[in-house]
Amino acid sequence: MSNSYDANRWKRFDEWDARPLRHDQFAVEDPENGFSAFNGAADPGPGLKIENGKVSMMDGVAAQDFDMIDAFIAAHHLDMDVAEEAMAIPAEQLARMLVDMNVPRAELVRLARGLTPARLAEAVAQLNAMEIAFAYSKMRARRTPGNQAHVTNAKDDPLQLAADAAVAVALGFDEIETTMRVARNSWSNALACCVGSVVGRAGTLFQCSSEEAEELEIGMAGFTSYAETVSVYGTESAFIDGDDTPWSKAWLAAAYASRGIKMRCTSGAASELLMGYHEAKSLLYLEARCLCIQRGMGSQGTQNGGIDGAPLASSIPGGVREIWAENLLAVWLDLECASGNDARHSESEMRVAAKVLPFLIGGSDLICSGFGSILKYDNSFNPSSFNGEELEEFLVLQRDFEADGGLTSIEDASALDLRRRAIDALSHVLKDLDLAAPTEIMKRSVAVASGSNDTQSFAPRDVAVISDKISRQRITVLDVIRSLHRGGFVPEAQNLLFLVKLRVSGDYLQTSAIIRDGHVISAINDPNDYTGPGTGYRLTEARRKELAAIRNVLDRDEVLRREAASEPAEARAIEYSTMGPAERGTDPHEVVVGISPGFGTRIFRTLSGLPLSKVLKALRDGIEKGGGRMRLMRIRHTADTSFLGLSAARLSGSGIGIGIQSKGTAVIHQKDRLPHNNLELFSNAPVTNLDHYRALGENAAQYARGDLPAPVVVPTQGEALGARFHARVALTYAIETKMTENNASPETVEINFLGDT
């Protein structure tokens, strides 16, 4: 024991300092310097003046003083038919309408077209976090929730991209997004993900985040089906620094649509702050401007909610509430919302899980605008809120809340089959189109690899060569379809054709469009119709079962199967003989051990894995060491530890008994005590070892002699209460309680240890 009693700090602070949370750097609220979530020093008051059908003043700025953003919003966002009506409604009333299930979404969406950025921000700022979450769920555009994955790796290895894309599709992601470590690898990444994404089923949309011109070219070649890199900023200076204007972005929006490619914009809290041009305005007000621009330019949707600025936004008081609020603004403005939960905003897993919850339980068009389906180090964007590492946590959260997060569990075997299929398909295409010749070792290493550290595959230089060839030879998706077919990958060829055909009708250009079961669903044919309980998105029974079907779940049969596996060894170690009804004893040194109904008959190991024969031997040795004698009986009317112990004690000549359940929970009891007022309780079966059982026996013998021994302490960190045991405990106990019979008398049991036990 160290003698640091002179420390000038409570040690708890050292422990707190060591937690991941303390890697997060929090910032003081400082509105003058842009560090304000809701109340910027220079946030304008809402207001709108219309003269001769034109905006003459908006949010305190006269038309002649408009910056580019004001001008664009006044010209393209504000709907003169509704502006005066909408702006006449006080923010408090708008806020109440947002959380009122009796006010339909359509009515609020109509009013939003006439609201200025400052009024929109003022209204959502009235809501507390819970109200924002509820309003989001009511206001989001498409009824059915979805999700988007990142598929990237640290080597830009195409084989791994194909395999990981196929897994992402199997997990149920509606969209997958890739990007590159090395910019020139874009064509290779696009081809690889494109092939991987059509293994298993058709309809997963795919994008390759790249330089604007190249991204459009890759789309034109048919490899990608959507884009979300059209970034928008809330101050004019940040916009210019980002090398664009609202008009250049509007031009791009039209460009994507003109090529039949789905497009959404990107914005999010704190990007202006990161870029140094915040104008002392709050995160929320600047984002309201961004979203009005996006609606105005005719983007069907947005990726917002912090995004790359999420860690900075979250360093400010109320920052996470603001991130939720800006997502709410997006859906109120009738935009598809890929609701962030993308770049990890904190090193604390609790903060991460807390932030995603409203979108998981309330749904979102795309809950994560980049769920890392790959490992953190393979994520070329940045580690996401959820990554390959935490994927099963998300699946379990879906199951816990019976909430559709868009994902479905995959099985061990099918995952490997899919990966091999994707790798084979891509390998064939690479060879067939004379792009590269993957070896068997490459393919096999990638199939089983969890991440690129485990692979022996293409080196970055090889990838650059592949990428250049695809681009130079002007390979298109049609070449890939034909190649897949030549290689016998017919379903994949069909799936890929299905995907590129979508662009001909343009159905998936409408708001919130994704593909489910071969059909486009969007805010038009699957609108969010929430108007209270029983409306909006509800799980079907089939989907509920799908969400419940995670790996490694336990049931009664499984418990019995596992126990049955221990039975033969126990049969070789111990013999139990039932000798008829047990009598009250007279020996003052005896300790009666009362075992539960299933002890050694159905259940053969304690929760800590000890064979029950060894436990009984330890108890006997301990009792004898304490100068006592063990008498064993099976209690048949109860399986409860206290009553097992008390029943044993009442038949004991010394008045001292031990009760023990088959799972190992034990008690020392005395015949005159109340049932739950025992002498010693051993409730931590999962951490109770043979030494503890021996000491338990010895103490019982000492009580029998009238001594007062030091109670046995089983050191615990709370393991016994861990979720790892509870299902098994409940199932085991239920097996025992089912064996009890009312008024059945205890039976004397004689045991004979066999072999070397």
Partner 1 sequence: MPDQPLTTENYPLAETSPERVTGHRGKSLDELTLEAVLAGDVGMEDLRITPNALLQQAQIARSAGRAALARNFERAAEMTRVPQDTIMEIYELLRPGRTRSIESLQDTAQRLRREFDAPLLAQLVEEAASAYEKRGLFRNRY
The residues annotated with a catalytic role in the active site are: 148, 150, 177, 228, 303, 342, 369
Task: Evaluate the CA torsion angle 216, 218, 219, 224 in order and state its sign.
Answer: negative
| Segment 26 to 45, residues that bind partner 1, using CB under 8 A | none
Distance CA 352, CA 20 (A): 12
Minimum CB distance to partner 1, residue 141 (Å): 10
Both structure tokens of 147? 């999700």
The only residue of 6, 15, 51, 243 in contact with partner 1, by rule CB under 8 A: 243
Q: Does 20 bind partner 1 (CB under 8 A)?
A: no
Distance CA 651, CA 648 (A): 5
**In 3D, which of 600, 538, 608 has the Cα closest to residue 573?**
600
Q: Does 272 bind partner 1 (CB under 8 A)?
A: no
The only residue of 39, 245, 348, 745 in contact with partner 1, by rule CB under 8 A: 245
Both structure tokens of 138? 């009511």
The only residue of 21, 50, 68, 129 in contact with partner 1, by rule CB under 8 A: 68
3-state secondary structure of 333: coil
Residue where the block lists tokens 């290493």: 445
The residue (of 75 and 549) whose beta carbon lies closer to partner 1 is 75
The residue (of 161 and 261) whose beta carbon lies closer to partner 1 is 261
Candidates 71-79, 183-191, 270-278, 341-349 — which segment interacts with partner 1 by CB under 8 A? 71-79
Helix axes 412-432, 477-486, angle to 10 degrees: 110
Q: Does 251 bind partner 1 (CB under 8 A)?
A: yes
Q: Does 201 bind partner 1 (CB under 8 A)?
A: no
Minimum CB distance to partner 1, residue 245 (Å): 6
586: how many CB neighbours lie within 10 A of its CB? 9
Residue where the block lists tokens 């190992």: 664
Q: Does 432 bind partner 1 (CB under 8 A)?
A: no
Candidates 500-508, 594-602, 654-662, 690-698 — which segment interacts with partner 1 by CB under 8 A? 500-508
The residue (of 110 and 431) whose beta carbon lies closer to partner 1 is 110
Name 257's Cβ contacts closer than 8 Å, sequence gap at least 6: 263, 506, 509
Distance CA 629, CA 658 (A): 12
The only residue of 42, 89, 274, 497 in contact with partner 1, by rule CB under 8 A: 497
Q: Does 607 bind partner 1 (CB under 8 A)?
A: no
Candidates 48-56, 384-392, 507-515, 655-663 — which segment interacts with partner 1 by CB under 8 A? 507-515
Read off the amino acid at residue 723.
Answer: A
How far, in Å, are 34, 126, 284, 364, 571 from residue 119 at the CA level?
20, 11, 11, 24, 78
How far, in Å, are 209, 382, 441, 444, 663 from residue 482 at the CA level?
26, 35, 26, 25, 62
The residue (of 407 and 477) whose beta carbon lies closer to partner 1 is 477
Chain CA centroid to CA 88, Å: 42
Minimum CB distance to partner 1, residue 240 (Å): 5
Q: Does 531 bind partner 1 (CB under 8 A)?
A: no
The only residue of 156, 164, 228, 236 in contact with partner 1, by rule CB under 8 A: 236
| Segment 476 to 495, residues that bind partner 1, using CB under 8 A | 476-478, 481-482, 485, 490, 493-494
Distance CA 150, CA 169 (A): 11
Distance CA 720, CA 434 (A): 60
The only residue of 87, 170, 216, 375 in contact with partner 1, by rule CB under 8 A: 216
The number of residues that bind partner 1 (CB under 8 A) is 71
Pairing of strands 205-208, 226-231: unpaired
User: DSSP characters for 431-458?
Assistant: HHTTS----HHHHHHHHH-SSGGG----
Candidates 84-92, 247-255, 283-291, 728-736 — which segment interacts with partner 1 by CB under 8 A? 247-255
The residue (of 79 and 417) whose beta carbon lies closer to partner 1 is 79
Q: Does 350 bind partner 1 (CB under 8 A)?
A: no
| Segment 286 to 345, residues that bind partner 1, using CB under 8 A | 295-300, 334
Q: Does 444 bind partner 1 (CB under 8 A)?
A: no
Minimum CB distance to partner 1, residue 354 (Å): 34
The only residue of 100, 212, 347, 621 in contact with partner 1, by rule CB under 8 A: 212
| Segment 85 to 104, residues that bind partner 1, using CB under 8 A | none
